[in-house]
Structure 1
Amino acid sequence: MVGRPRGAVVLTEEERAELLLWTRSRTCSQARALRARIVLACEGEPTNTAVAKRLGVSRDMVGKWRARFLAERIDGLDEQPRPGRPPAADDDTLAHVLVRTLTPPPPGATRGWSTRSMAAETGLSQSTVSRIWRTHRAQPGARVTAGPRRAWSLPDHAEEVVGLFIAPPVCVLAVTAPAGRGRSVRASGAATAARLCGQDQDAAHVLAVACAFAALRGKQHMEDSPGLHTFVAQVRSAADAGTSVHLLAYGAEGALQRPETSCRWHHVPSPEAWTEEAHRLLAADARLPREPASPVPRLRNALLTWSTTWTPSATPFTRIAPPRPAYDIPAICGPDNDSNAPDPRTLDHPGPLEAAQITTPDAAPGAPITPDPVVGLLREALLTDVHQPGDRVREAPLALRLGLSRRVVRAGLRALAEEGMLDLLPGGATAIPAVNTKDVLDLYALRASLGALLMRRIAMLGRGNLAPATAALAEVHAAARANDRLRIREVDLRFQDALARIADLPQAAHTFERLTARLRMFVTVLDMDYSQACDTIAAEDTAVHDALCDADGNEAARLWRVKIERCVRYMIAQLSEDDAAPYLWTTLAGRPRLLPGEPRGAAR
């Protein structure tokens, strides 16, 4: 009879059933489930090397738990007390230190968090803080380096990060890559992570914190996650045509009961491996110049808000990159795509490529953000023309003037109608909105309530996030000093939009900017003159900004309400209605609470 190999694992039916139960349990720790998988694999594999390769762990780990099981059976898989002093930081402390690095550094810190400042903040020693950062690869400001390529690595031609999903212990990073072979990301000139993380080396730190938080808080295995299915579908929709989606995943092996065949999965064995692979993806971009308006602060703030309020029943953290513009001007807006459009080269107006340059990347801080360049072009063209309320917008002159096809112009005008900037007529035509008292009250009622919400939210985020609003406020002061009535009304709205974006409430900011678009049209149609109110506008914006700098959300909301009161009364006064019209707002909305010394007049 042939004897068994030395070190061979033979399981009883009871032991096998219990180990399988550990691997499938929703309450079993990750460490215990991994030990169970190692022992189960050892039954079918005679060597530690084969088991290590199969499970993606080290040979030493396999040898340790094989020997422990052979010596003590099931009881040997329990965690045993380790010699020496107990660790100074538990999982809650580790998570707190990591999440704290996402917050603004203390006053006076010019280079972000240091081990000294974090130790003073948390009450730990500098060596403990340094050890936590090194262990989880989450040291703020550390240089991103490219690690070696592994079996689970993302493709070398990965182009952009388009999604992040966290539902402890699951952490998934979605990346796009060309569907074909042989094209390198560096050769194509694409910038990795540009849509979700930007060309910003801080993105590596944010992703490291995200994965470490998922691992520390993930005390149970998820057998199925509807949120993950939804995330994969959203990422697939956000990906560009002609690209494939690759998912860098930790802890997601048992999170999907039905396979996702539309994406390529790259499962990593540990949070450290996930973070190193994310660093490898972003390492080349660390040498690129930092973008002036990187998406990283929004990603960081969203992750900070979610992680500080996380509970085991919390909704998964999902971040999807915004879609690309619906219209690519050089590709589909040229004369070859519309047989009825004249050749721009034969006309005395800019062609499509020149028209695309009207939207410059050097737009002023707080300028309205439009994902579709065609919509931006049409909006600015309509705001610079002279219109009467109710005038129908003619597609042909706009197409001829901007060098676009009528089909593209028609779709862009409908998008502006959906924003509320234009009125949509039967048959799909659009018209300049007619302004009456009800429209003004409707618009400002929403703007007053939504603005107060945004002010309180901004006050919670800290002074360090106000840089875009501060830059926009400088433009307001410059226009006020020049007494430029056209410029002041534009930069005032840009300042307000800048505040809306700072709040990092995407739906609220999107609604607020749509209201801004309609308000800009109202101001243009009424040709409102603010030459006598430039100083008042600058003073109002400064007061709101100062209250936010002091983190006084209630005062900022009150000052916002005072500003809206003056704006709506002034706009209603421009309408040809009876004398009671300017007082209708006060009747419906009440009067704002004024402090002693504040003017009570109706000046803008």
Structure 2
Amino acid sequence: MYSPEDRRAAVAALKTDTIAEVAARTGASPSTLRRWAGRRDLADRPRSGRPPIQATADQVVEALVATAGARISGRDYSTRALSEATGLSQSIVSRSVRSLTVPVAEVTGGRELVLAASGFPLVILGFRAVDTGGDDSNGRPAVPPRRIQRRIAGIAAALRSAGVQRWAQRFGSEHRQTPTADLLALLAGEENEELLVFDPLGEVPDDTVAEAGPRARVHRGFVEFVAELKSVLAGCQDIPGSLLDQLAARVRHGLEGVLWRESVQIEPRRTSITSDSMEISSWLPKETRSITEHLAIALREEIIDSGYDPGDRINPRLLSRRMRVPRASVDAALRRMVDDKLLDGSRGGARIPLITTVDVLDLYAARMAIGEVVLRSLALRPQRYLVPVQLALRQVEASAPTRSGIDVEDADLHFQQELARASGLRESARTFESLTLRLRLFISILQLDYSPASDRIVSDDRAIFRSLSRSDAKTAIEVWRGKVDNAVRHMAGLLGRRRFDQELWTQLTRSLG
């Protein structure tokens, strides 16, 4: 590739030397020298042919990956899936993804991410060395290295798509949606925390940097900041999905208002899944819950947060450290879930079960059949038994406007559980509860998002309740069958390349009509 200066020097040499001599000296062919001599302008010209698309592809891939959240670890965000979604070649998509992350060989483990905060003009991340406590893991990542590699790409993409690299060009107070003082206060963290800061405008006072010492590294340049960030993240045991979800939700807001801390959940969050009315009689006591039962409930969120895939072995050491409970308690909870067939223990340890299309159809066919029995019984009972069902319906109606898939799912399954409990059929209710536990696990593993279907869920649940209020079992069952049919098709459609088996589903449910 010749620069304009090279061309001008070659043309000037033609005034005193022959074309052959200049060609031998410059390496340009005689025809090229003649073409240069005939040009009036020797500046670079736009290259002919197909325009480069990598830069555009990078922006497209960044936008998709930045808003993926914890789902970045799933099949929907593999390079093949991104290629199919964008129409770009897989090689181009792969180059885009590689630019966002690090080689999988560089993922080593040894520290954990404990803090992330962002708001113009600062980005702050905090890390802490992992205390293995004599464990034989030797600091290796707590989850598969390729999953951490994907999640690094999610964080880097969020920073780029949110326009953080252009903060140095901003001016004026209208961009300061997050108080800078609140962000600066985070720099006075624990002494054992390692801080990485992006500060393009020099907002961090020199005395604060001096006080923090070597544990705080402040970058003014975005490229250097992202490069070190990816390197540090590659040394993490895990990158929590809850952080990725928060970043994905704030990308459109320029990453304003991001404040994530390491969550230590001793008591479960009070939602429909952990409310007093949502006891699971088969393995949760009616009075107080033990640490083992808390862990079993919290494992569902842990599956989502750590991005476990079917077949992955659950790391009890990671659970123990995150929940700050003894390792023995974690092991007991996992053994209980293996005994209840919620986890797979056939290959040693506790693993996320492999889910097939047949498993999904089997589960939903069983729920459909028992649900019909429950609805027939409930339609014959006095109206006072519908009071807890009505309260559960209000939770569904309240969760729908939030457009949170997890909240809608929890409220809807709680509504279904109250239908079973109000039926007066103890064996049917117990079996239905057991199937609900397995369904929640399926939903977690497949990372189903129910937010697009929230309006349909509310409509179906209202119709079922109205029908039962009129003692109209037939209509309630018709709505129930349609509700289950939509759910099973949605879930089965996420099981990779295997398509929905319409014939099998019809055979399993035909006799229920």
TM-score class normalised by the smaller sequence: 0.3 to 0.5
Scaled by the length of structure 2, the TM-score of the pair is 0.43
- The one of the two structures with greater contact order (alpha-carbon pairs below 8 A, sep at least 6) is 2
Scaled by the length of structure 1, the TM-score of the pair is 0.38
If each structure's helix is expressed as a fraction of its own residues, which one has the higher value? 2
